[in-house]
Structure formats: structure tokens, C-alpha cells
Amino acid sequence: MALNLGDVVPDFTADSTEGKISFHEYLGNGWGVLFSHPKNFTPVCTTELGAVAKLKPEFDRRGVKVIGLSVDQLSNHGQWVDDIRDATGSTLNFPLIADHDKNVANLYGMIHPNASDTTTVRSVFIIGPDKKLKLTLTYPASTGRNFDEILRVIDSLQLTAKFSVATPVDWKHGDDVIIVPSVSDEAAKEKFPGGWKTVKPYLRVVAQPKVDETV
């Protein structure tokens, strides 16, 4: 199954290290990140899960629930969690789904036959409070993900969901943003009374709105 941006992500029920998970219920009314692993006891995945455990306070601060998935048996998860702690110094502090039957992997299109017809690629799904897919990233099994980049993307998604702005190349929280083209200059004067810099008629740069502002 191919998931497109804007689709409501499929709901599912699965076993995890924190008990049975009903995915939509787990997400509640907030943001979520689902990321997959080919199987337990893989070296790159071990480093990734340790990194996400360390970064979990940053996800919490943004109101984002993280959940991992491995195409392996729940009975193996406990030993892997111990290995993750030993290897990275971080204790797993979010659920890790056991998807040994590949139900979720197939539901979310995590298996790419031209890469491997048996194991999942490293998929990342960022999901909004409306349960719709906001971003997907796909890495080959050999390449570890950059979760600082995923946090940066979440900052952009949350900002642009609230304000009439877009974020430019290499943007980070606090940097200037772009007024979206659908906002006319007249409307922009009301939304951004402090003014903006016009680089091109379609490229208007403005200071990032503060969280407590409404524009």
C-alpha cells in the first residue's frame, strides 16, 4: 500500500514492549512519529533506538509521541532493549512494536521489493493531530537516520500548520521564514505588521512568528 501526504494513516492493533497498542488511540489528538526497523539485533537500528530514547524529551516538548517497529517477535524485544542500553547508554522509553507477521509493514508500504522482498526499509512517518500523513522519509537499510533532522522537520510542520508561512532551505527554529504566496501584500500587512523583506515578488522574508501569536 502506498501512503500519500494528506492520507489518513491506517489504524492497527499490535503487540509492543509496552503492551498492546491501538495506533490511533495511542496517538490521541497529538502528533506522532512511527519509524521502522528491519529486525531485532541489527547494528544501525541499535544506534538509532538509543538516539531516539535520548531525544525523547525533545519530542515530548513538541507534543510528539514516538513509536518504533521491528519485524520480529516480541519475545526477542526484551534482550534487544538490554543490548540497546548496553551499547548506547540509553534505556528505551517508548513502545517498540513487534510486527513479526509484517501486518503493519505491508499496511504502510514499508517493504520495497527492489531493495528487499523480505525486510523493511527504514521508513519514517510523521503524523499530524488529524491522523493525516504530513511527511514520509525512506532510507536504505544500510544508512542510519538523522533524528535531529526529524525534529527540525517537526518544528517546521508545526509552525507552518499554525501560521501562513513556509520555511526556507536549512531553516531552524528561530530563523526567518517565508510568507506563503497565497497571502496578498494587503493581507500580509495585517498578519505581519512589523513588515518583511521582499527578495522577489513571490519571495517575502519575515521574522518567525512567536508561538503565542496568531497570523
Q: Is 45 known to be catalytic?
A: yes
- HEC sequence for 11-61: CCEECEECECEEHHHHHCCCEEEEEEECCCCCHHHHHHHHHHHHHHHHHHH
Sequence-distant (≥ 6) Cβ neighbours of residue 66 within 8 angstroms: 32, 33, 35, 52, 56, 59, 94
What are residue 198's phi and psi, to 5 degrees?
A: -95, 105
Please return the burial class of 182, using the count of CB atoms within 10 Å of its CB with bins 0-12, 13-18 and 19+: exposed
Q: Out of 9, 14, 45, 133, which one is annotated catalytic?
A: 45
Could you tell me the three cell numbers for 150?
526529524
Q: Are strands 96-98 and 64-70 parallel, antiparallel or unpaired?
A: parallel
Looking at this protein, which amino acid is placed at residue 213?
E
Instruction: Provide the annotated active-site residues.
Output: 45
